[in-house]
Amino acid sequence: MKRWNGWGAVDTDYPLPDAGRAFLEDRLGSGAPPEDATLEECLGKVPPSRLPDHPLVVRDPEERLRRSAGQSLQDWINLRSGTVASFPDGVACPETAGDVREVLKYAQNTGALVIPYGGGTSVVGHLSAPAGDRPVLTVDMGRMNSLVKMDGRGCLATFQAGVRGPVLEAALRAGGYTLGHYPQSFEYSTLGGWVATRSAGQFSIGYGRIERLFAGGSVETPAGRLLLPVFPASAAGPDLKEIILGSEGRLGIITDATVKVSPLPEKETFHTAFFPDTEQGIAAVREMARASLPLTMIRLSLPEETTANLALAGHGRTIELLNRYLSFRGVHGEKCMLLYGAAGSRKKVRWALRQAGEIIKGHRGVPVGARPGREWMKNRFRAPYLRNTLWGKGYAVDTLETALTWKRLPGAVQSIETALRKGLESIGEKVFVFTHLSHVYPHGSSIYTTYLYRVAPDSAETLRRWKALKGAASEAIVRSKGTISHQHGVGEDHLPYLPAEKGELGMKIINELCRTLDPGEMMNPGKLAR
Ligand SMILES: Cc1cc2nc3c(=O)[nH]c(=O)nc-3n(C[C@H](O)[C@H](O)[C@H](O)COP(=O)(O)OP(=O)(O)OC[C@H]3O[C@@H](n4cnc5c(N)ncnc54)[C@H](O)[C@@H]3O)c2cc1C
């Protein structure tokens, strides 16, 4: 069973070791856990539904509460404190594209707004129900989760769009294939959600972001059905797949998607190395990206994140030995940790690791083998559970991300981190900030920054702190000329910063697209565009 006000399954936890807690107390001061609202208290705030009966729609308060928010820190604070502003009036659970058409007709007839809901893992405010006179219908795609067609020879597979990561990957693996798309939200996020948010998985440099994997599909829009046929390539004008990628539920509901799959690799491995400083680390990953090595992952933790990772892992003795070894090899102080992976035939993997090793050594890096990489692989979907634990200790944690050209990257890291570190200075609160580069391209890289601050006794103050920090960091991203999102999307949270990137004409094109496919302005209003 999924937590209603936190991340993941109720029976899974990620404990914080004592050393990790001491580390956070040192950085932020001791935290005091807030008193959370109970499920019953929250259910008491769900108003009566304004929607009429329909066999595909449930109006039960708990179903509506559970689909009322995603996983942004704002969503999280509202759910924990029982201050969710508005709830959907009903939840539809279609099983076929025909059901989706039927649900859209019902929404048109009742004047309802429609929010497509995949796994509910959005972190930028994609799923909140707008307040107002129109009833709101959330369409949960969870029952549309089957493999429709497998074309092994053509390396293509078609799924219903509500399929979650583990179900999709198990179906492919049974036939010897993989999609290779692993966002950290993999356990819950869905294929339709990945397409609608332009998601990037942990192995994006090997298998590609979802844009590269999405080959075609079907979308039910208020204006009719949009079919996106599969071609190996096409010069027939603009590619309409591109308008559905990143459409955030504004243009219609993706009912099925065909994806490009790969044969399962013979070998998959993850290795770790340390660099003496940020400059050497960045120079090495840039060179790796430019060399187009057949790697699946390059993730460089900058010094503060390297320290945090080692401290929060809690294996005191092992870390001490590691630090001694690194020190002996000339890597100490402001060191950076690199995690890199390769997959494919044994020969290809051996070659990729050898080439990567040469580049690492060329930048005074020290390889430490495969053991830390194996640990990372084992725990990679468990890390988000730490957010539940930290909240329970009185600390809020959030992440943000962008991507920039190599030239702009160092300045942007500094400016984003400084904006966050100083963001609560006026009230005497500290913010702990750290960053990694996780999706590295020949022309630049994504920046992924995590920040933690103390939860206030009053939830309105906790939210005010978040707004101050998110605003300051988003402005720093815009000033640095980064994209407002490399992988999480726009939603409500990033919408104020989108015009700086798209320009007036660009915003007009997006708005016109919404009006063409959704003339009644019923699809997920307030997200991506006004
Ligand atoms: C712990 C955690 C880790 C994360 N890690 C990553 C990561 O590594 N990489 C990454 O890219 N993102 C990550 N995310 C963000 C999030 O998981 C992605 O944005 C994901 O693609 C959302 O998928 P979902 O199925 O949960 O969609 P939802 O959150 O349910 O919806 C997101 C948006 O897509 C729309 N949508 C969903 N399904 C459909 C559909 N069938 N048709 C039309 N519109 C639809 C919704 O209306 C909404 O606007 C993470 C989030 C969390 C909480």
- Give the model confidence (pLDDT) of 89-109 as tens digits: 999 999 999 999 999 999 999
Do the beta carbons of residue 100 and residue 411 sit within 8 Å?
A: no
Q: How much is the pTM?
A: 0.97
In a domain, 21, yes or no: no
What is the secondary structure of 340-382 as a DSSP string? EEEEESHHHHHHHHHHHHHHHHHTT-EEEESHHHHHHHHHTTT
In a domain, 273, yes or no: yes
Residue nearest to atom 27 of ligand 1 (CA): 193
Q: Indicate the SS3 state at residue 121.
A: coil
In a domain, 279, yes or no: yes
Site residues for ligand 1, CB cut-off 6 Å: 7, 70-71, 115-123, 126-127, 141, 161, 183-185, 189-190, 192-194, 196-197, 199-200, 248-249, 253-254, 384, 487-489, 524, 527
Question: Cα separation of 1 and 10, whole Å?
Answer: 6
**Which of 3, 121, 510 best tests ligand 1's pocket when mutated (most atoms within 8 Å of CB)?**
121
User: Beta strand pairing status for 432-437 and 295-301?
Assistant: antiparallel
In a domain, 44, yes or no: no
Strands of 214-221's sheet, edge to edge?
A: 147-151, 156-160, 253-260, 214-221, 224-228
Residues in contact with 95: Cβ distance below 8 Å, sequence separation at least 6, in sequence order: 143, 144
Instruction: Say how many Å lie between the CA of residue 195 and the centre of ligand 1.
Output: 8
Distances in Å between the alpha carbon of 236 and those of 229, 231, 491? Answer: 12, 11, 31
Q: Is the pLDDT of residue 319 over 90?
A: no
- CATH number of the domain at 363, please: 3.30.70.3450
Question: Cα separation of 327 and 180, whole Å?
Answer: 36
What percentage of the chain exceeds 90 in pLDDT?
Answer: 95
Instruction: Say how many Å lie between the CA of residue 164 and the centre of ligand 1.
Output: 11
Question: Cα separation of 437 and 337, whole Å?
Answer: 11
In a domain, 522, yes or no: no
In a domain, 504, yes or no: no
Domain total in the chain: 1
What is the domain range of residue 328?
Answer: 267-380
Here the tokens at position 419 are 């904006």
**pLDDT of amino acid 448:** 98
- Give the model confidence (pLDDT) of 249-299 as tens digits: 999 999 999 999 999 999 999 999 999 999 999 999 999 999 999 999 999
- Give the model confidence (pLDDT) of 183-241 as tens digits: 999 999 999 999 999 999 999 999 999 999 999 999 999 999 999 999 999 999 999 99
Nearest 5°: CA angle at 78, between 72 and 84?
115
**pLDDT of amino acid 154:** 97
In a domain, 285, yes or no: yes
Q: Is the pLDDT of residue 26 over 80?
A: yes
Do the beta carbons of residue 115 and residue 138 sit within 8 Å?
A: yes
Q: Is the pLDDT of residue 325 over 80?
A: yes
Averaged pLDDT score across all residues of the chain: 96
In a domain, 318, yes or no: yes
Instruction: Say how many Å lie between the CA of residue 123 and the centre of ligand 1.
Output: 8
